[in-house]
Structure 1
Amino acid sequence: MGDVGRAVGELNAYAEQLEDAVDLVHDMLAIEPELSGQEVLVKLRALADKRRREVDSVQADAVVRVDCANCKHPIWRLGDSRWEHVTGSVGCRAASFDRDGDWDDRFSKSLKATPPSSRS
């Protein structure tokens, strides 16, 4: 049921995004009814690009990247989220597989992405 529930949730989120897009186009045409389809697409692309730049800017300010205290490979986190290797794995051993295509047996399964100690 988990996979079905997740799929339904994703479809619902996509339907909501489409409804938002329809509303946006409707509002654009209410203000400028002479717009062609191509002009609407250009305006939508410009708006999407502007929002993406805003999100990227906020995210860049909130992302912290350092080297893992355990495996010395890059890790990151967004705001107060958990630390992850840049490969997307939390565990050092799993990250070695993601990165190198093979398990690095120097790392036990218990080692997790950990920032360096702030103590001097």
Structure 2
Amino acid sequence: MPVPLYQKKAEFFRMLGHPVRIRVLELLGDGPRQVRELLAEIDVEASNLSQQLAVLRRAGIVMSSRDGSAVTYTLAGPDVADLMRAARRILTEMIVDQTELLAALREPASGTR
């Protein structure tokens, strides 16, 4: 029996569910980066970054190429960068909504005393 699409989507989002992986995808959204550049931007051990890059590579979300000892990573396609931008927009709206709700809660209640 084939796996339902909603289950595959859940697996996909679980795979993305690590802060280092998200940060890597955000950085690669700006263009290819060598591992040393990623390490300079992300505060993790090289072994941890390597492990997270391997997860993204196995999932087919990033691709790597080697030039001598330098390994460069790129997004496999533009859709991932679009997804990261969409997530940023959604979170921004959520924060705006929460800020507006907080402001309304802090206002004195009219007609109560």
Query: TM-score, normalization: structure 2?
Result: 0.31
Whose helix proportion is higher, 1 or 2?
Answer: 2
TM norm structure 1:
0.29
